[in-house]
Chains A and B, each alone.
Chain A
Amino acid sequence: MVDRPPPASAPAPTPPTGPARAQIVVNGAARVVADGQPLPDLLAELGLRPGSVVVERNGVAITPSELSGIRLADGDTLEIVRAVAGG
């Protein structure tokens, strides 16, 4: 089930001053990342092997070939899903 609104969570803590930050939502949880962070970098941070997951950004499924070109921006909502056993 992926089409569930993210739970109302407290806004992420304000990051210290420095490079521009982007507030995003990943699988329903708020998260702060560097503005413009490449999506593959985020997946690596999360411990996810590229190719083992599929990402939907703002409601649009991203194909593997598009993945490397995606950069994260403030307000992005990501759903990270994977194939699991099922009938």
Chain B
Amino acid sequence: MSQAPSGRAVPASEWSRPPGPALSGAVEPVESDELVIAGRSYGSRLLVGTGKFAAHEVMRDSLLASGAEIVTVALRRVDLDRAGEGDVLDFVPPGMTLLPNTSGAADAAEALRLARLGRAATGTGLVKLEVTPDPRTLAPDPIETLRAAELMVADGFTVLPYCSADPVLARRLEEAGCATVMPLGSWIGSNRGLRTRDAIEAIVAGAGVPVIVDAGLGVPSDAAEAMEIGAAAVLVNTAIAVAADPVRMARAFALATVAGRLGHLAGQAGTGTATAASASSPLTGFLGALGTPANGNGRVAG
């Protein structure tokens, strides 16, 4: 500590101290901390959807900026009158794992049919199971989702189900053999954030498979919040694709996901009350008062 002779503050440049470690602006994960899904490891805990980008090139650049290793695609009937249109797969950077979804499925049978087409298209058995018969909310149908999961597991798929934020359903999906559970943060595309926080915490507490928060995360801090409460990963599409600058937003979500994960691993400090502070500076050893009696009584510290 620097003394203050004659009341003069000694500048840091006059101190003698050993050089410390260089501070860098590094924000990459500082430890090996891989996401493991069905025995396969991934370095990124941010999964990204490919929908809604204004152009394939923007999508490609955003995927690169996100650092994602798993990206979702959908399957749709080819419009035979426009057979030559650009192929989205040409713009997914090589090395990224494709996760075909079953969007558009209204029941388990349709979902299984789409999953099989997705497997034929991508050559992987990974499938993002989604059964969303309600066009208004696109809420996942829990009964058909569980039924589809059972059929898909029996057919050899690695199943990542989009599901309601329901700890009982999550447990049932895990018991059915799903590789993850993917409860919603809020409605698909709504950007309303982690409205299901308490339920997600309960799911995390009971899950033996990775919990991936899918849908509704609207800003990077939503992703950080999900990771802080113990989500294994997040899946983001609309918030990136529809941002004014999708590439920059992809990077922001990547950093927030890492930040939230590190915050979770670091162990959260306890939360205080609304009516009292807890001083973070010592409450003893105050300076002698200047021009007032030096008794220190009644002082506070911030």
Whether, in the assembled complex, A10 has its beta carbon less than 8 Å from a beta carbon of chain B, the answer is no
The reply to whether A86 and B73 contact each other, CB–CB distance below 8 Å, is yes
Among A14-22, A32-40, A59-67, A69-77, the stretch that binds chain B is A59-67
Given the known inter-chain contacts A3-B113, A59-B113, A64-B120, please indicate yes or no for A84 contacting B75, CB distance below 8 A.
yes
Looking across the interface, which residue of chain A has its beta carbon closest to that of B73?
Answer: A83
Residue of A47, A59, A86 with highest tally of chain B CB at under 10 A: A86
Q: Name the A residues within 8 Å of B105 (CB-CB).
A: 3
Whether, in the assembled complex, B51 has its beta carbon less than 8 Å from a beta carbon of chain A, the answer is yes
Q: How far is the CA of A41 from the CA of B297 in the complex (A)?
A: 93
Q: How far is the CA of A28 from the CA of B104 in the complex (A)?
A: 17
Looking across the interface, which residue of chain B has its beta carbon closest to that of A85?
Answer: B50
Q: When the two chains form the complex, which single residue of A60, A79, A82 contacts B121, counting CB atoms closer than 8 Å? A: A82
Given the known inter-chain contacts A48-B83, A83-B122, please indicate yes or no for A54 contacting B73, CB distance below 8 A.
no
Q: Name the B residues within 8 Å of A49 (CB-CB).
A: 87
The reply to whether B103 and A61 contact each other, CB–CB distance below 8 Å, is no
Chain B count of residues within 8 A CB distance of the other chain: 44
Q: How far is the CA of A2 from the CA of B80 in the complex (A)?
A: 14
- The distance from the CB of B116 to the nearest CB of chain A, in whole angstroms, is 4
Whether, in the assembled complex, B110 has its beta carbon less than 8 Å from a beta carbon of chain A, the answer is yes
Q: When the two chains form the complex, which single residue of B51, B77, B98, B110 contacts A81, counting CB atoms closer than 8 Å? A: B77
Q: How far is the CA of A83 from the CA of B117 in the complex (A)?
A: 9
Whether, in the assembled complex, A87 has its beta carbon less than 8 Å from a beta carbon of chain B, the answer is yes
Q: How far is the CA of A84 from the CA of B101 in the complex (A)?
A: 10
Q: How far is the CA of A2 from the CA of B77 in the complex (A)?
A: 6
The reply to whether B75 and A87 contact each other, CB–CB distance below 8 Å, is no
Whether, in the assembled complex, A8 has its beta carbon less than 8 Å from a beta carbon of chain B, the answer is no
Q: Name the B residues within 8 Å of A52 (CB-CB).
A: 87, 89
- The distance from the CB of B139 to the nearest CB of chain A, in whole angstroms, is 15
- A-contacting residues, B83-117, CB 8 Å: 83-84, 87-89, 98, 100-101, 103-105, 109-110, 113-114, 116-117
Q: Name the A residues within 8 Å of B98 (CB-CB).
A: 83
Q: Name the A residues within 8 Å of B75 (CB-CB).
A: 2, 54, 81-84
- A-contacting residues, B41-94, CB 8 Å: 49-53, 56, 59, 72-78, 80, 83-84, 87-89
Whether, in the assembled complex, A53 has its beta carbon less than 8 Å from a beta carbon of chain B, the answer is yes
Q: Name the B residues within 8 Å of A64 (CB-CB).
A: 120, 123
Given the known inter-chain contacts A2-B113, A54-B75, A81-B78, please indicate yes or no for A87 contacting B49, CB distance below 8 A.
yes
The reply to whether A26 and B80 contact each other, CB–CB distance below 8 Å, is yes
Whether, in the assembled complex, B238 has its beta carbon less than 8 Å from a beta carbon of chain A, the answer is yes
Give B contacts to A, CB under 8 Å.
49-53, 56, 59, 72-78, 80, 83-84, 87-89, 98, 100-101, 103-105, 109-110, 113-114, 116-123, 188-189, 215, 235, 237-238
Name 10 extra pairs, CB < 8 A, besides A27-B80, A84-B73.
A27-B78, A46-B83, A47-B83, A63-B119, A64-B123, A79-B77, A81-B78, A83-B88, A83-B100, A87-B215
Give A contacts to B, CB under 8 Å.
1-3, 26-29, 46-49, 52-54, 56, 59-64, 79-87
